[in-house]
């Protein structure tokens, strides 16, 4: 994968999105339409990750978050979960060094306690290896659920208040934000969902307060670098007022 130089502004000088998040949906349907196994759909979907990274680098995005495995996905059939974890291990084993050479930082957000110990160790290794890279931060939401994230944040703050380290008056929007997995990551400017579905599915609920949304009919395995670039162009055409009058 060859990454071109980033483009941070349009010809008119309008800045593009700093953070793009993607709900990668449609692997199963892509496979079903081709009468092949769901595991093959997931494998092809993993290849589309490269296209998204290429698009992010080309358009000058600083942060790219991919919803890889939700907290609800643990309820899927055992064999499907096993296949997904296998793809994750394969990605960590084969792609991280390539990301590192390209100057890409890898982060993982979510509940790691449910992951196998070897996967947790590999994630820690990958994060450590790439922590000083700055070309793009690739964030993988893994075993992630936004409601669980907010509950954990509230629990952490409540324990601090109960211990006398903080006061109720200290609980502000900023304090809650600082207790989330994404406390040091800017909120997403643009959230893309593939497959035509139009819902967040427990993804970045707090962080999406002022995000722009784009729902694409393309299934995730067919997502291309050009789809990403086109999505950024659509974002640039929108008028973001953040609640202010036009």
Inter-CA distances, 238 with 16, 60, 189, 218, Å? 11, 18, 11, 21
Does the annotation flag 42 for ligand binding? yes
Catalytic-residue membership of 25: yes
Does the annotation flag 195 for ligand binding? no
Active-site entry in 73, 177, 178, 202: 73
Does the annotation flag 125 for ligand binding? no
Does the annotation flag 27 for ligand binding? yes
Does the annotation flag 3 for ligand binding? no
Does the annotation flag 83 for ligand binding? no
Does the annotation flag 166 for ligand binding? no
- Tokens, residue 157: 């703050």
Cβ–Cβ under 8 Å, residues 127 and 153? no
Does the annotation flag 200 for ligand binding? yes
Q: Report the distance separating Cα 232 and Cα 227, nearest Å.
A: 9
Catalytic-residue membership of 230: no
Q: Report the distance separating Cα 195 and Cα 219, nearest Å.
A: 4
Does the annotation flag 212 for ligand binding? yes
Q: Report the distance separating Cα 203 and Cα 187, nearest Å.
A: 12
Does the annotation flag 38 for ligand binding? yes
Give the closest residue to 144 by CA, choosing from 198, 200, 185.
200
Does the annotation flag 93 for ligand binding? no
Interior angle at CA 74, CA 71 and CA 88, nearest 5? 90
Q: Report the distance separating Cα 43 and Cα 46, nearest Å.
A: 5
What is the dihedral angle through the alpha carbons of 177, 178, 180, 184, rounded to the nearest 10 degrees?
Answer: 100
Sequence-ordered alpha helix ranges (H) in the chain: 27-33, 38-58, 78-94, 96-101, 117-130, 146-162, 173-178, 225-236
Does the annotation flag 241 for ligand binding? no
Does the annotation flag 178 for ligand binding? no
Active-site entry in 25, 83, 187, 189: 25
- Tokens, residue 204: 């970045």
Q: Report the distance separating Cα 47 and Cα 218, nearest Å.
A: 15
Cite the annotated binding site by residue number.
Answer: 25-30, 38, 42, 70-72, 74, 76, 193, 199-201, 212
Cite the annotated binding site for substrate by residue number.
Answer: 26-30, 38, 42, 70-72, 74, 76, 193, 199-201
Cite the annotated binding site for Mg(2+) by residue number.
Answer: 25, 212
Q: List active site positions.
A: 25, 73
């Amino acid at each position: 994968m060859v990454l071109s130089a980033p483009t941070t502004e349009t010809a008119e000088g309008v800045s593009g999105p700093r953070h793009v998040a993607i709900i990668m949906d449609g692997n199963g349907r892509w496979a079903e339409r081709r009468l092949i196994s769901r595991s093959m759909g997931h494998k092809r979907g993993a290849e589309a990750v490269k296209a998204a990274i290429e698009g992010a680098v080309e358009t000058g995005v600083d942060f790219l978050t991919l919803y890889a495995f939700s907290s609800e996905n643990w309820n899927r059939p055992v064999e499907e979960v096993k296949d997904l974890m296998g793809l994750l291990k394969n990605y960590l084993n084969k792609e991280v060094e390539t990301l590192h050479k390209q100057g890409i930082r890898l982060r993982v957000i979510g509940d790691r306690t449910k992951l196998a110990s070897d996967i947790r160790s590999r994630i820690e290794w990958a994060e450590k290896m790439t922590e000083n890279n700055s070309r793009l931060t690739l964030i993988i939401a893994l075993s992630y659920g936004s409601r669980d994230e907010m509950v954990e944040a509230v629990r952490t703050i409540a324990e601090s208040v109960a211990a006398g380290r903080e006061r109720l008056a200290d609980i502000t929007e900023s304090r809650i934000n600082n207790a989330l997995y994404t406390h040091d990551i800017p909120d997403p400017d643009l959230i893309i969902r593939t497959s035509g579905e139009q819902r967040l599915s427990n993804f970045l609920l707090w962080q999406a307060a002022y995000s722009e949304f784009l729902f694409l009919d393309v299934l995730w395995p067919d997502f291309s670098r050009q789809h990403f670039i086109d999505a950024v162009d659509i974002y640039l055409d929108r008028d973001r007022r953040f609640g202010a009058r036009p």
